[in-house]
Structure 1
Amino acid sequence: RAIDVRAVRANIERLKAENPEGSVIIQADEYSNTGLLVRVMDQVRLAGISNISISAEMSGS
């Protein structure tokens, strides 16, 4: 699903308050914009999460 980068940090901060030891997995596909992916990762880091993983799926997989 599409995301609003402006909402990422607030959402992650809320979720981190519920689960301080949590991590983030960003699910991307082959059409994901690399610049957008980097901006999302930056927002996650600014929200205080350092454990970030990226999951990518290619079409036909």
Structure 2
Amino acid sequence: MGNLDVGHYGTFPEPNGGEFGRVGVHWLQWQLRGDPASGAQFTGPDCGLCGTDWDVRQKNFG
């Protein structure tokens, strides 16, 4: 689960969807293409989103 506290519309009005768009592309690259660099944004104790403004919670990720 990931949450970025930016309000109801998120960052979608920003160019290319802003931060939500960037993270969404990483998720799709990982899930649909098996891209390990994109997967590293979401998995492990030092994930790419960990330690950022995102509130990240993981369960049963490899």
TM-score (normalised: structure 2):
0.29
Higher percent of residues as helix: 1
State the TM-score, normalized to the length of structure 1.
0.29
